[in-house]
């Protein structure tokens, strides 16, 4: 990267605003060699701290440059290790919270583009959006956003987070995420909320109860082995695929996920049976749902909509547990 990058970004951020023209120049300098290093990453964070009037162009540039650095720097590419995850949180955290929408967008984007990330980073990102609703302030509460309820921006961020490839349960909603949706619902129940909030709550919780996300994502160690094998001189991709794609082992499904497919695409027997079984409530899931429904003593409109959705999906009637005296 050009030696002029640091000087330019410091000068650009000195007045609290980085213009579109300055961002174009930063892009030219920043991607002159297609790489961004730790020093440049720190300079971008410092510039964002100084930028009191951030524009959408700045946010896009900040997120694009740093998400590539965070996800692609430590091999294997696409995986965030514990050290990188902890460094990211330490850099943006201010007493348990982050301070700018650009930083929140960076967290969400990193989880979207990574194959896997540390659990702590996933939980931290989700907590930032949840806390904004629960406490009524935070990076999503700036500008024209309303001070109460859950707004459109937060609905969008929540949806992206819980379905992110590197999220808590890739392609599906985890128990932690479903419980967060319940907490947000309770906190914003009598506020003016974004129109899409009810659908997100219902679909998110129902996905946890009835969805089937398949196996866990491929771990970084296994991904590293695959990456090293693919880069070994003399090993052809075609011959490797020929051996892998004739197997019906768990490795088959894992490698299919690397190619952007799924176990269903790979033809592993039993996938449809697992998905069908997941689409019915297990006793533990019934108990979990009843516990959350009973927490506020009476069914609200969101909970009624959730029960109606579950009934339609399962073809059976869910009857909440009678309240105890």
Contacts for 103 with CB less than 8 Å, ≥ 6 apart = 48, 92, 139
Q: What is the C-alpha end-to-end distance of the chain, expressed in Å?
A: 68
Which helix (H) or strand (E) segment holds residue 45: the answer is helix 38-50
Q: What is the pLDDT of residue 190?
A: 87
Q: What is the pLDDT of residue 135?
A: 62
Contacts for 244 with CB less than 8 Å, ≥ 6 apart = 251, 252, 255
Enter the DSSP assignment of 297: S
Q: What is the pLDDT of residue 230?
A: 39
Take residue 148 and report the two structure tokens written for it. 């109460």
Report residue 79: phi and psi, to 5°. Answer: -120, 135
| pTM across the whole model | 0.69
Residue with tokens 């694009």, as numbered in its chain: 64
Of 274, 279, 277, 232, the C-alpha closest to 253 is 274
- Quote the crossing angle between the two packed helices 237-244 and 220-231, to the nearest 10°: 130
Q: What is the pLDDT of residue 324?
A: 65
State the Cα torsion 180-183-188-193 to the nearest 10°. 30
* DSSP codes, 234-267: T--HHHHHHHHTT--SHHHHHHHHHTT--HHHHT
Q: What is the pLDDT tens value at each position of the chain, 325 positions in all?
A: 444 666 777 777 677 778 888 888 888 776 666 677 888 888 888 888 888 777 888 888 888 889 988 998 877 888 899 999 999 999 988 767 677 778 888 988 999 889 888 889 988 988 887 777 666 555 554 433 345 678 888 888 888 888 887 766 656 788 989 999 999 899 888 888 999 999 999 999 999 998 754 445 545 554 454 445 434 444 443 333 333 334 333 333 443 443 334 444 444 455 455 555 566 899 999 999 999 999 887 899 999 999 999 999 999 999 998 866 5
Are 59 and 105 a contacting pair, CB within 8 Å?
A: yes
SS3 of 79, please?
strand
Q: What is the pLDDT of residue 245?
A: 38
The Cα 80–Cα 71 span in angstroms is 6
Contacts for 266 with CB less than 8 Å, ≥ 6 apart = 245, 252, 253, 256
The Cα 149–Cα 189 span in angstroms is 8
């Amino acid at each position: 990267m050009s030696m002029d990058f640091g000087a330019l970004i410091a000068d650009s951020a000195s007045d609290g605003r980085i213009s579109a023209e300055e961002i174009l120049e930063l892009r030219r300098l920043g991607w002159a060699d297609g790489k961004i290093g730790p020093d440049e990453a720190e300079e971008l964070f410092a510039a964002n701290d100084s930028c009191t009037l951030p524009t959408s162009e700045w946010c896009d540039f900040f997120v694009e440059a740093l998400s590539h650095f965070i996800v692609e720097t430590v091999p294997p590419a696409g995986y965030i290790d514990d050290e990188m995850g902890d460094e990211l949180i330490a850099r943006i955290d201010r007493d348990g919270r982050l301070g700018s929408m650009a930083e929140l967008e960076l967290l969400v984007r990193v989880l979207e583009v990574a194959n896997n990330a540390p659990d702590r980073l996933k939980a931290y990102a989700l907590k930032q959006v949840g806390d904004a609703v629960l406490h009524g302030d935070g990076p999503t509460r700036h500008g024209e956003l309303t001070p109460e309820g859950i707004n459109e921006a937060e609905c969008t961020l929540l949806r992206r987070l819980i379905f992110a490839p590197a999220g808590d349960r890739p392609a599906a909603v985890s128990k932690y995420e479903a419980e967060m949706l319940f907490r947000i619902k309770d906190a914003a129940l009598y506020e003016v909320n974004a129109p899409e909030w009810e659908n997100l709550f219902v679909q998110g919780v129902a996905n946890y109860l009835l969805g089937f996300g398949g196996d866990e994502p491929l771990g970084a160690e296994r991904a590293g082995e695959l990456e090293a094998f693919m880069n070994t001189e003399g090993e052809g991709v075609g011959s490797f695929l020929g051996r892998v794609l004739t197997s019906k082992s768990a490795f088959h499904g894992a490698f299919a996920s690397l190619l952007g497919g799924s176990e269903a695409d790979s033809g592993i027997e039993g996938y449809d049976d697992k998905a069908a079984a997941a689409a019915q409530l297990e006793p533990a899931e019934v108990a979990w749902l009843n516990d959350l429904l009973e927490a506020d003593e009476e069914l609200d409109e969101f909970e009624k909509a959730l029960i109606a959705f579950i009934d339609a999906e399962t073809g059976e009637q869910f009857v909440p547990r009678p309240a105890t005296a």
